[in-house]
């Protein structure tokens, strides 16, 4: 694991129509003698570079002394469309969505690039931040009979309702005819076809699957290593040691906020989440809370069936520990009100000593901002500390609980898939050297042959690399990291271009820290994780009962943690959970499990 050094200021800024002639054959009783006609030159399809360069939309920086050339795939046949087609969609946007210059979510270099290459104009009637807002706006759109053509990241319950209401297109045939056999189809057969578990209905493809990276939301523990030095302690390897370290951070009040505001361990209103979730603390007892509000966590009971971890006796032991941490002020006093954005502000504001998150969260949404605000701050990641039972954290399936359906009657599904073919080849071919756009994703330092990253600059539209969660392969991130490491080992240092120097020299150590974190998760995922075995779409019974059951669980857990009720109230909660529909849900899930097994 790499130790991070003091950051540099620059690093903290971020981390024509292809056509052809048509030959018409006429029928006649006798062929006429051919007339002499002048031959016309055939129309030649243009390359992506020929299309984009005159418009200033070509990625890469080949004109600099230490520049590089981006090699884009062939433009899909028949593209760019002329006239362009307009496709309605929507997109997620939040504090991480940033652009350069006058660009915004509705008019930016990504949209101009897509229009120039493919002849597709994405119309964005609305945006959203959280899934609840997306669902509200989708309900309004359905009520008005005005749903978008492409709907990124729709939740499973809404998707089921839309399928039942005959609102979405069956894309099976157009997918088979259009999706690239290698870049799309082969990639989506990862895990023996499991990526299609939600998007296929009765054997028909009713949506494009939403795919994450393997291990994407699994956690490691990020720690302020300069704080460890100040209290003279080592990184913890057990929950007992972690409690001692957190107490030392709090007792010495090492945070940058008002007196007494130091947070030893970050916690979230979602006890199990990708940023600030306490899943690995519970996992140390062999159980996990539900992942956000999803129907989970159902694990093997050792007798051939499944159990709900939320009512397992070990959960009571885990709540006892977390309650003690709260009493000792290791956790923020109002952690149960805070989500990702609030917690990120706390970390970047240097008020937090330890944070469970994944490598992107620990570096991009943590260490970079923290080190920009305090040049003396240093961070590093460590394996999750073991509990009294085991080391345990959430197993993150790359199959996201969301899909990309298309409006029934859309005439543009093939065009969106052709765009996806092109973009998938880029994602899966790091040797093509796509690093974004000069002046948007990175800038050259004036008078020097080096580049610095810009924060944001581009945005995904369509179904590949969007904020809705559609990667093309669960292994693409690992492939890119391995390609970089191979480049470092095989290309002489004097031949590196400016982008490879930025990526591989890594003066702050942060990029190396992030890459090594991802590789560690990929290597250790299966051995350290607790798998939620329920991976089907929610049933009617679950849709009826789960929200009430989850509310009951949250209220009980938070009341125990904050000391409003004694730990023994957990026993009453278990009885109530079973009586209010939990027993029915558990029985239904075990029927599904038996049939599957």
Average pLDDT over residues 571-579: 98
Residues contacting 530, CB < 8 A, separation 6+ = 283, 286, 287, 288, 297, 299, 309, 392, 393, 394, 395
Work out the average pLDDT over 541-549.
Answer: 94
Contact 485, 477 (CB under 8 A): no
% of the chain at pLDDT higher than 90:
75
| 385 and 246 share one domain | yes
Interval 76-100 mean pLDDT: 93
> Are residues 499 and 514 located together in one domain of the fold?
no
Instruction: Provide the pLDDT for residue 396.
Output: 78
**Any domain includes 459:** yes
The residue behind tokens 């129309």 is 43
Q: Measuring CA to CA, which residue among 345, 360, 354, 351 is closest to residue 510? A: 360
Domain boundary among 477, 503, 529: 503
Q: Answer yes or no: is 292 within a domain.
A: yes
255-286: burial string, b at 16+ Cβ within 10 Å, e else: beeeeebbbbbbbbbbbbbbbbbbbbbbbbbb
Query: Tell me, what's the pLDDT at 470?
Result: 55
Can you give the pLDDT at residue 397? Answer: 78
Same domain (yes/no): 235, 332:
yes
Write out pLDDT tens, residues 193-251: 889 989 999 999 999 999 888 878 899 999 999 999 999 999 999 999 999 999 999 99
Neighbouring CB atoms inside 10 A of 17's CB total 14
Of 480, 503, 526, the domain-final residue: 503
* pLDDT band (50, 70, 90) for residue 387: very high
Confidence of residue 44 (pLDDT cuts 50, 70, 90): low
> Rounded to whole angstroms, how far apart are CA atoms 178 and 72?
19
Strand order from edge to edge, sheet including 379-382:
263-265, 352-357, 220-224, 379-382
Does any domain span residue 32?
no
Are residues 192 and 258 both part of a single domain?
no
Take residue 146 and report the two structure tokens written for it. 């005005």
- Classify residue 381 by its DSSP letter: E
Tell me the three-class secondary structure of 490-541, residue by residue.
Answer: HCCHHHCCHHHHHHHHCCCCHHHHHHHHHHHHHHHHHHHEECCCCCCCCCHH
pLDDT at 49: 97
Q: In this predicted structure, what is the pLDDT of residue 214?
A: 80
Residue 419 has pLDDT above 70, yes or no: yes
Give bridge partners of residue 91 from the DSSP assignment.
127
- 376 with 521, same domain: the answer is yes
What percentage of residues in the chain have a pLDDT greater than 70? 92
DSSP, collapsed to helix, strand or coil, labels residue 394 as strand
Q: Dihedral sign for Cα 141, 144, 146, 147, please.
A: positive
State residue 40's pLDDT score: 36
Q: Check whether 2 has a pLDDT greater than 50.
A: no
Residue 58 domain flag: no
Locus of tokens 């159902």: 298
Reported as type and span, the H/E element at residue 211 is: strand 208-211
pLDDT score at 506: 84
Taking a C-beta distance cutoff of 8 angstroms, is the pair 268, 345 a contact? no
Task: Show Cβ contacts of residue 405 under 8 Å, excluding neighbours closer than 6 positions.
Answer: 151, 154, 159, 162, 168, 169, 206, 207, 208
ω into 245 cis (within 30 of 0): no
- Does an H or E element contain 542, and which? helix 540-561
Whether residues 176 and 148 share a domain: the answer is yes
CA distance 221 to 521: 12
Predicted local confidence at residue 468, as pLDDT: 54
Section 553-579 average pLDDT: 98
Determine the 3-state secondary structure of 593 from DSSP: helix
- Rounded to a whole number of angstroms, the distance between the first and last alpha carbons of the chain is 40
In a domain, 43, yes or no: no
Tell me, letter by letter, the H, E, C secondary structure of 194-208.
HHHCCCEECCEECCE
Burial class (CB in 10 A: 0-12, 13-18, 19+), 525: middle
114 within a domain of the structure (yes/no): yes
CATH of the domain at 90: 3.40.190.10
Q: How confident is the model over 352-376, as a mean pLDDT?
A: 96
Q: How far apart are CA 235 and CA 223, in angstroms?
A: 8
What is the model's pLDDT at position 361?
95
Cβ contacts of residue 342 below 8 Å, gap of 6+?
none
Nearest to 270 by CA among 287, 288, 290, 292: 292
Nearest to 89 by CA among 59, 126, 57: 126
Do 374 and 497 reside in the same domain of the chain? no
Q: What is the mean pLDDT of the chain?
A: 89
Which range among 126-130, 214-218, 263-267, 383-387 shows the weakest confidence by mean pLDDT?
214-218
Q: Where are the beta strands (DSSP E) in 239-390?
A: 263-265, 298-300, 306-308, 352-357, 379-382
What DSSP designation does 472 have?
Answer: S
Could you read off the pLDDT of 159-206 as tens digits, one per residue?
Answer: 999 999 999 999 999 999 999 999 999 999 887 788 998 999 999 999
Cα–Cα distance, 237 to 458 (Å, whole number): 40
Write down the pLDDT at residue 466: 85
Q: Is the pLDDT score of 27 beyond 70?
A: no
State the residue range of the domain holding 376.
Answer: 220-394+510-596
Same domain, residue pair 533 and 565 = yes
Task: Name the domain boundary from 456, 482, 503.
Answer: 503
Residues 228, 131 within the same domain: no
**pTM as predicted:** 0.75
Return the C-alpha torsion angle 483, 485, 487, 488, nearest 10. Answer: 170
Give the residue ranges of DSSP H helices in 386-509: 413-427, 476-490, 498-505
Same domain? For 193 and 101 the reply is yes
Whether pLDDT at 136 is above 50: yes
Domain count, the chain: 2
Residues 226 and 92 in one domain: no
Q: How many CB atoms lie within 10 A of CB 186?
A: 13
Residue 91 in domain: yes
Within this chain, do residues 554 and 445 fall inside the same structural domain, yes or no?
no
Rounded CA-CA distance 79/45 in Å is 9
302: in domain = yes
């Amino acid at each position: 694991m790499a130790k991070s050094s003091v950051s540099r200021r620059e690093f903290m800024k971020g981390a024509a129509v292809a056509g052809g002639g048509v030959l018409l054959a006429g029928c006649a009783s006798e062929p006429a003698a051919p007339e002499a006609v002048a031959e016309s030159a055939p129309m030649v399809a243009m390359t992506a570079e020929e299309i984009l360069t005159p418009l200033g939309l070509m990625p890469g920086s080949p004109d600099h002394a230490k520049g590089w050339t981006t090699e884009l795939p062939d433009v899909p046949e028949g593209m760019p469309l002329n006239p362009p087609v307009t496709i309605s969609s929507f997109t997620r946007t939040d504090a991480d969505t940033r652009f350069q210059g006058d660009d915004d979510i509705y008019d930016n270099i990504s949209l101009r690039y897509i229009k120039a290459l493919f002849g597709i104009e994405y119309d964005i009637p609305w945006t959203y931040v959280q899934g609840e807002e997306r669902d509200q706006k989708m309900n309004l759109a359905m009520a008005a009979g005005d749903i978008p053509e492409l709907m990124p990241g729709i939740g499973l319950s809404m998707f089921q309702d839309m399928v039942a209401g005959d609102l979405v297109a069956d894309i099976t045939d157009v997918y088979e005819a259009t999706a690239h056999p290698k870049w799309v189809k082969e990639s989506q057969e990862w895990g023996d076809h499991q990526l299609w578990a939600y998007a296929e209905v009765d054997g028909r493809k009713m949506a494009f699957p939403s795919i994450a990276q393997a291990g994407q939301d699994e956690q490691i523990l990020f720690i302020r290593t300069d704080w460890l030095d100040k209290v003279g302690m080592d990184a913890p390897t057990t929950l007992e040691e972690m409690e001692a370290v957190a107490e030392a951070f709090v007792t010495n009040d090492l945070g940058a906020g008002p007196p007494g505001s130091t947070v030893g361990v970050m916690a979230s209103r979602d006890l199990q989440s990708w940023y600030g979730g306490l899943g690995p603390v519970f996992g140390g007892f062999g159980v996990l809370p539900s992942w956000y509000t999803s129907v989970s966590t159902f694990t093997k009971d050792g007798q051939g069936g499944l159990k709900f971890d939320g009512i397992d006796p070990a959960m009571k032991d885990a709540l006892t520990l977390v309650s003690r941490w709260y009493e000792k002020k290791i956790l923020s006093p109002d952690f149960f009100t805070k989500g990702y954005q609030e917690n990120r502000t706390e970390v970047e504001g240097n008020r937090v000593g330890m944070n469970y998150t994944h490598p992107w969260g620990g570096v991009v949404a943590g260490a970079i901002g923290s080190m920009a605000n305090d040049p003396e701050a240093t961070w590093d990641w460590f394996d999750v500390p073991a509990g009294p039972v085991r080391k345990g954290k959430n197993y993150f399936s790359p199959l996201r609980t969301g899909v990309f359906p298309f409006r029934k009657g859309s005439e543009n599904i093939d065009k969106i898939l052709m765009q996806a073919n092109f973009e998938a080849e880029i994602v899966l071919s790091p040797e093509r050297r796509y690093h974004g756009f000069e002046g948007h994703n990175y800038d050259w330092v004036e008078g020097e042959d080096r580049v610095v990253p810009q924060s944001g600059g581009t945005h995904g539209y369509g179904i590949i690399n969007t904020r809705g969660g559609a990667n093309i392969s669960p292994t693409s991130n690992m492939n890119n990291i391995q390609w970089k490491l191979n480049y470092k080992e095989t290309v002489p240092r004097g031949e590196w271009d400016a982008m490879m120097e930025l990526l591989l020299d890594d003066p702050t150590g942060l990029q190396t820290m992030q890459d090594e974190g991802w590789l560690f998760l990929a290597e250790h995922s299966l051995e350290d994780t607790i798998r939620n075995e329920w991976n089907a779409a929610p049933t009617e019974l679950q849709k009826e009962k789960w929200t009430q059951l989850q509310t009951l669980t949250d209220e009980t857990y938070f009341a125990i943690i904050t000391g409003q009720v004694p730990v023994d109230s957990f026993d009453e909660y278990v009885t109530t959970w079973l009586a209010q529909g939990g027993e029915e849900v558990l029985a239904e899930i075990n029927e599904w499990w038996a049939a599957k097994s």
